[in-house]
Amino acid sequence: GENVEQHPSTLSVQEGDSAVIKCTYSDSASNYFPWYKQELGKRPQLIIDIRSNVGEKKDQRIAVTLNKTAKHFSLHITETQPEDSAVYFCAASMNTGFQKLVFGTGTRLLVSP
Amino acid sequence: GAGVSQSPSNKVTEKGKDVELRCDPISGHTALYWYRQRLGQGLEFLIYFQGNSAPDKSGLPSDRFSAERTGESVSTLTIQRTQQEDSAVYLCASSLARLAAETQYFGPGTRLLVL
């Protein structure tokens, strides 16, 4: 089955810096890769996703890149703000209607003012 | 519109008791998923429903765990004879589940504590 690894487990940056979180997956059949943000005590919320027919997707300060050959994908946050502080989870699944998401272990991002 | 809701928000129970956790998905969402999140850890897939059927139960940790869904709407996750290691946040998610992968929208979770 699919296995997703995520690094780093914690990341501390200064406000305005960029943050990069990396994930690798094992199943070459996986082709849907969402990223979720979870604030303390809150539910996970989708921030961006990418399908394997594209290599990069950007939404304002957030971007995701995908390398299918190497089986890894990354989340990039530019101009970080304190409100970006949260736990970020990557996930992978087959791109079908009913997808079983396999999650990484999470990255705790702390943005200091 | 209303998002995914779950009840209760918190549940404290004694070891050996049974608990029922409820999930109300977004109206019209065919797919419903249950995940478990232990403290400080990632989300662990438990089971998903396609309509009222559960094609994939592979994530259920033991036969003490079961789930059902009726009317392609509400789902209940039941844990029998609870153990302390069952303590976690149980999250439900739903999605439209059309041909391509759709966003899974999560509920607020039920925080279960087994004493």
B102–chain A nearest CA distance, Å: 7
Task: Note whether A100 contacts B45, CB cutoff 8 Å.
Answer: yes
Q: Which tens digits make up the pLDDT trace of A45-93?
A: 999 999 888 889 999 999 999 999 999 999 999 999 999 999 999 999 8
Q: Contact A19/A85 with Cβ under 8 angstroms? A: no
- What span, in angstroms and rounded, lies between the C-alpha atoms of B93 and A71? 26
Confidence band for A8, pLDDT divided at 50, 70 and 90? very high
Query: Which residues in B have their CB inside 8 Å of a CB on A?
Result: 30-31, 33, 35, 41-45, 48, 50, 55-56, 59, 91, 95, 97-109
**CA nearest to A44 within chain B:** B106
Which residues of chain A does B48 touch, with a Cβ-Cβ cutoff of 8 Å? 98, 100
Give the CA radius of gyration of chain B.
Answer: 13
pLDDT tens by residue, B23-32: 999 998 988 9
| Residues B3, B5: Cα–Cα separation, whole Å | 6
CA–CA separation, A21 and B38 (whole Å): 22
Could you tell me how many CB contacts below 8 A there are between chain A and chain B? 68
Phi, psi of B86 (to 5 degrees): -80, -10
Tell me the C-alpha distance between B79 and B110, whole Å.
13
Measured CA distances, B88 to A10, A99, B35, B73, B111 (Å): 21, 23, 10, 24, 6
Q: What is the pLDDT of residue B54?
A: 85
Looking up tokens 């009913």 gives A98
In the prediction, which pLDDT does B72 show? Answer: 82
Q: A7-21, A98-112, B9-23: lowest mean pLDDT where?
A: A98-112
The residue assigned the tokens 């809701």 is B5
Distance from the B43 Cα atom to the nearest Cα atom in chain A, whole angstroms: 6
Chain B: residue whose CA lies nearest to A33:
B101
User: Rounded CA gap, A88 and A80, in Å?
Assistant: 14
Q: Are A77 and A13 in contact (CB under 8 A)?
A: no
Sequence-ordered strand ranges (E) for chain B: 5-7, 10-13, 19-24, 31-37, 43-50, 53-56, 65-69, 75-79, 88-95, 105-106, 110-114
Which pLDDT score, from 0 to 100, does residue A51 have? 87
Q: Quick check: A89 and B31 CB within 8 A? A: no
Nearest by CB to residue A98, choosing from B50, B91, B108, is: B50
What digits encode the pLDDT tens for the residues B46-105? 999 988 888 888 889 999 999 999 988 999 999 999 999 999 999 999 988 766 667 899
